[in-house]
Amino acid sequence: MRSDTVLKRKITAIMAADVAEYTRLISEDEEGALRRLETYRKVFDDFVKRAGGRIFNTAGDGVMCEFSSAVEATRCAIDIQESLRTANMALPTDRQMHFRIGISIGDVVERDGDLLGDGVNIAARLQALAEPGSICVSRHVHEAVMNKVSVPFRDLGNREVKNLPHPVHAYQIEMGPREKSAHQTPPRPLTQPVEARGISAGWIAAAAIALAAGAGGYVLLQRQEGPRPPVVVKSDPPKLAEAPKTVEPPKVTEPEKPPQQQSVVVTENLTPAQAFEKLAKSGGIVKDAKSAPELYHNARSFEQRGESAAARRDYLALAALGTDHVDPLMRLAALIRTQDGRAGAREVFADLAQGKGRAAALVQILQFDGAEKQSRLQAFAEANPDFAPVHALIAQEFGEDRQNGQTISDRRLELASLKRFLAAEKDGKLVPFFLDQSVLAQWIDRAQKRERAASEFFATRRDRIGLSFMRSNQSWMGTISLPEAASAIEYKFGDMPDFKTTGTLAMLDQRTGKPMANPSFEMPSTQGPTEVSLRYLDANGIRSAVSTETFDPRDALTAMQRQILNQTASSWFQFGKDHNAGFLYYTHIVSYRCAIKKVEYGLGNEQPLQELRLPPCDERDPYAIPRDVNPYLRVGPDVSGASMRITFTNGDISDVKSYQRP
């Protein structure tokens, strides 16, 4: 740090944002993802500017912003998410780009325009807790804004977060309009219209249109004033009223088929997937749709046109058929989440899962989080081993995009699930679970890439536990190297009945947030040949498989000393100085003689052909130099240098090392 750097401390509101699944989006369509990110960021930045905020740090897909008010930060985040949610509806699910946003308020230090401190760290952790497309705020922010913004909050309670010594009390803002249906309970009433937050509904819709255009560039849109949309009266289930259409700026489009035009497509004697493909190619809306392909085609058509109520109606009608098709129900869940949040999606699918087919039960599980989702998916797979899509979902749940990082146990679960999924694909058992075969193709492609990466990881033994030994005069010290972070290490050797922990060090492991596990253990110097068993607890508390290494004291001693000799070749020979100038010492060689079979040397310009006699190895006291041994050669003043070559006990021969007399 420069001595002239000015540090300024202040209380401020921090908004942290990043793109969910950014790595996947880039890997699947780099140019398209970068174009969408650029377009979304321009609108994002404009919202921040209009709200009086300041962007003080960016890195890749991440943004850090500062606001003088928690209320303005929260209103800005809501406007951003509402705009991007509308824009994403024009894109396929796997190409949508969702931001996660976290907001905190606290004490920070400003240095050269950058902000540091707990306020920044907590905002980043809240952003990591947020669901894609949602906002998480701290308790202090919630208290500051709860009566000033008209959105419902969900209390997430105290959450343990990485690298912070204390839990963070978090609240999630439930995004999206809430329509009352047969599957939903009435939401908490909103007391403030969108316009009251300073950004009109028409402005948000216009911003969304510019985002959907993507490659058309960013246009600075003016606010569109006008009457508020009329209240839509919902009909009794199962019929749902269509949502009012937003007035959009005129744009050139291809003529659209009438909403109730019958697609002239013969779907008899076709599989459901083939029928859907025919309908998708023909376009239009199928009148009196009844089959799964017809309902799915209509729902997607309505969704692309922004008629979410009609899309939801046909998706629900399809779900009521109880088919095993996964992709329509996953799109339905995404639509409900944008309207009613994850809690609303859980509620709807809890009803659909009752006797409406296994696909509905599976998609219901996807509306849960963390360990609960994982355990439910695994239980579903055990009960339905033939329902192959679940294996890809389990693999994704334990994949490398996990919030807290992927452990080796996670990698094993991911690889096993991917192999099951791809085996089903090889046997032709995946097609019946997907109406849109292009979605299945994406699943297969992603699974093949991940399976190759995971297989390579284990094939190159990057999961292996390493063990090396160091001998002192009093004992053996075993040093353990682990392939990942561990919260505890356990070992067992000889006649030990049970595993014993190595204990911890007086320092914190930043990877786990816990005291660092001691990577070493001790064995007596008299220990004979034995097997050493090792295992550890990973960052999630999952115990690893047991790794066994054979310990032979003679082999361990020679291996250790050979390594030391190779690393300290400059000390094999040393010319004496001052009153010892007539001696050439090889004390280092004698100390590590247990690894040496033969030593050859030469004086001056001679080749190393003379053999240097060494005392035998004493395994009980391997470093001691016997009293009757003088570890030096007498050399005359005319000897300008020396050379040495070592043959080790395993047969390896060193290069010739040369030493010049000072």
Tens of pLDDT, residue by residue over 116-170, are 888 888 999 999 899 999 999 999 999 888 878 878 888 888 888 776 778 889 9
- Show the 3-state SS of 223-289: CCCCCCCCCCCCCCCCCCCCCCCCCCCCCCCCCCCCCCCCCCCCCCCCCHHHHHHHHHHHCCCCCCC
Domain boundaries, the chain: 7-211, 232-242+259-459, 466-551, 558-660
Average pLDDT over residues 360-384: 93
Q: For residue 164, with 0-12 CB atoms within 10 Å meaning exposed, 13-18 middle and 19 or more buried, which class applies?
A: middle
Cα dihedral value 346, 351, 357, 359, nearest 10: -10
Per-residue model confidence (pLDDT) at position 5: 56
The tokens for 229 are 């949309």
Q: What is d(CA 147, CA 339) in angstroms, rounded to the nearest whole number?
A: 22
Task: Work out the percent of the chain whose per-residue pLDDT is above 90.
Answer: 57
Q: Specify whether the CB–CB gap between 646 and 565 falls below 8 A.
A: yes
Side chain identity at residue 320, one-letter code? A
Tens of pLDDT, residue by residue over 93-128, are 888 999 999 999 988 888 877 888 888 889 999 998
Q: What is d(CA 178, CA 645) in angstroms, rounded to the nearest whole number?
A: 82
Average pLDDT over residues 41-66: 89
Tens of pLDDT, residue by residue over 529-539, are 999 999 999 98
Does residue 252 surpass a pLDDT of 50? no
Per-residue model confidence (pLDDT) at position 113: 77
Q: Specify whether the CB–CB gap between 324 and 358 falls below 8 A.
A: yes
Side chain identity at residue 94, one-letter code? D
Instruction: Out of 158-167, 388-397, 506-515, give the one with best mean pLDDT.
Output: 388-397
Per-residue model confidence (pLDDT) at position 387: 97
The tokens for 538 are 């990973």
Per-residue model confidence (pLDDT) at position 403: 55
- Tell me which CATH code domain 7-211 carries: 3.30.70.1230
| Residue whose structure tokens are 């950014």 | 22
Per-residue model confidence (pLDDT) at position 196: 35
Does residue 219 surpass a pLDDT of 50? no
List own/partner pairs for 636-642 with CB under 8 A and 24 or more apart: 636/582, 637/581, 637/582, 638/604, 639/584, 639/603, 639/604, 640/604, 641/603, 641/604, 641/605, 642/573, 642/575, 642/584, 642/601, 642/602, 642/603, 642/604
Q: What is d(CA 606, CA 609) in angstroms, rounded to the nearest whole number?
A: 8
Banded model confidence at residue 389, pLDDT cuts 50, 70, 90: very high
Cβ count near 379 (within 10 Å)? 11
- Say yes or no: do domains 7-211 and 466-551 share a fold: no
Q: Specify whether the CB–CB gap between 62 and 16 falls below 8 A.
A: yes
Per-residue model confidence (pLDDT) at position 361: 94
Who wins on pLDDT, 193 or 640? 640
Does residue 233 surpass a pLDDT of 70? no
| Residue whose structure tokens are 């063990």 | 467
Does residue 240 surpass a pLDDT of 80? no
Does residue 474 surpass a pLDDT of 90? no
Per-residue model confidence (pLDDT) at position 337: 86
- The CA-to-CA distance between both ends of the chain, in Å, stands at 43
Cα dihedral value 182, 185, 188, 189, nearest 10: 30
Average pLDDT, the chain: 84
Q: Model pTM greater than 0.85?
A: no
Banded model confidence at residue 176, pLDDT cuts 50, 70, 90: low
Does residue 46 surpass a pLDDT of 80? yes
Average pLDDT over residues 497-510: 94
Residues forming a β-bridge with 632: 585
Per-residue model confidence (pLDDT) at position 210: 41
Using DSSP's 3-state secondary structure scheme, residue 320 falls into: helix
Average pLDDT over residues 203-214: 41
| Residue whose structure tokens are 């360990």 | 371
Average pLDDT over residues 333-355: 87
Class of domain 558-660: mainly beta
Who wins on pLDDT, 245 or 76? 76
Tens of pLDDT, residue by residue over 277-334, are 999 888 889 999 999 999 999 999 998 888 889 999 999 999 999 999 999 999 999 8
- Tell me which CATH code domain 466-551 carries: 2.60.40.10
Per-residue model confidence (pLDDT) at position 568: 95
Q: For residue 59, with 0-12 CB atoms within 10 Å meaning exposed, 13-18 middle and 19 or more buried, which class applies?
A: exposed
Banded model confidence at residue 39, pLDDT cuts 50, 70, 90: confident
Per-residue model confidence (pLDDT) at position 438: 93
Q: What is d(CA 97, CA 80) in angstroms, rounded to the nearest whole number?
A: 13
Banded model confidence at residue 92, pLDDT cuts 50, 70, 90: confident
Per-residue model confidence (pLDDT) at position 292: 95
Does residue 194 surpass a pLDDT of 60? no
Cβ-proximal residues to 480 (8 Å cutoff; 6+ apart), any chain: 465, 466, 467, 489, 491, 502, 519, 520, 521, 534
Per-residue model confidence (pLDDT) at position 525: 92
Side chain identity at residue 441, one-letter code? A
Does residue 265 surpass a pLDDT of 60? no
Does residue 179 surpass a pLDDT of 70? no
Cβ count near 312 (within 10 Å)? 23
In CATH terms, the fold of domain 232-242+259-459 is 1.25.40
